[in-house]
Amino acid sequence: MTGVLPMALEGATKGVGALLLAGKEYICVMRLHSTLSEERVKAALAEFCGVIYQRPPLRSSVKRRLRTREIYYLNFLEMKEKNVLFKVGCEAGTYIRKLAHDLGEALGCGAHMQELRRTRVGPLIEDEGMSTLHDLSYTFTRWQESGDKSLIYKLILPMEKALDLLPKIYIRDSAVDAICHGAHLAAPGVLSLETEIKPNNVIAIFTQKGEAVALARAKATTENILMKTHGFVAKTQRVLMPRGVYPKMWRSSL
């Protein structure tokens, strides 16, 4: 497989979990075991959009139990003889080689994945700001020769980019350091938030300046959070910001 492979550095590794949960997009070459018409292939692709049942293949990193995964879109791109090129947007954890196999079963001729390219991981899109290993190697050499650190920084995206698709709650400066020490987010600390937050959603907690503070699980809907004056509204799961970046404005119980 080729394509987008997110790599995190230093403290940004704490935010990788958000990308593991994010949807993916792939370009796949599927090899049919018999020659079929383009119309039959298109019809089969359309049938696999939506929620499907999928059992992971024999060679996989997870338990082989039947589970559901959502296919957001499955677009036919091109067909030449027995090779079918299609684009698929899917829920995290979808096995494309198993999808190709199941498509072959549905077509009655059998099929397998011949080539795969990942073009998107959550908000990270191949043609939008991604760098190749060649770019990295070339820029690293230039940095060593010139000593200009700004060259390498141009290739590194801020950690907040990985959180673009998560619903966000923006908090007061007075609440930041408490969250950094592992406290859950209480209603008085909320300054503003995005719409369509639901209970148990993974959300990102941000400062007013747009800095990522933590990943958390929402305990209420957007509407209920706005109405609350006390109590916790989100349970902190992963702190992203180092302690002490914002001044301590809370009292210890000790």
CATH 2.30.130.10 fits 166-239, yes or no: yes
pTM of the model: 0.86
Is pLDDT above 90 for 133? no
Q: What are phi and psi of 150, to 5 degrees?
A: -65, -25
User: What CA–CA distance (Å, rounded) separates 184 from 235?
Assistant: 5
Cross-strand partners of 239: 214
Confidence of residue 254 (pLDDT cuts 50, 70, 90): very low
Domain ranges of the chain: 23-121, 166-239
- Which sign, positive or negative, has the C-alpha torsion 89, 91, 92, 94? negative
Tokens for 33?
């075991």
Q: Which of 50, 114, 126, 52 is nearest to 83 (CA)?
A: 114
pLDDT band at 213; cut points 50, 70, 90: very high
For 38-60, what is each residue's pLDDT tens digit?
999 999 999 999 999 998 887 77
Round to whole Å and give the CA distance between 156 and 113.
32
Give CATH for domain 23-121. Answer: 3.30.70.3190
CA-to-CA distance for 198 and 214, rounded, in angstroms? 18
**How confident is residue 253, by pLDDT bands cut at 50, 70 and 90?**
low
Rounded to 10°, the helix 38-47/96-107 angle is 120
Nearest C-alpha neighbor of 152 from the set 127, 131, 125: 131
Q: What is the mean pLDDT of the chain?
A: 92
Buried b (16+ CB within 10 A) or exposed e, 172-189: eeebbbbbbeebbbbbeb
Which residue type is seen at 62?
Answer: V
Sort 195 into a burial class: Cβ within 10 Å, 0-12 / 13-18 / 19+. Answer: exposed
β-strand pairing of 111-121 with 2-3 = parallel
- For residue 23, give the nearest of 77, 87, 70 by alpha carbon: 70
Which structure tokens are listed for 49?
A: 């959009």
Per mean pLDDT, which of 61-70, 82-91, 128-137 is the most reliable?
Answer: 82-91
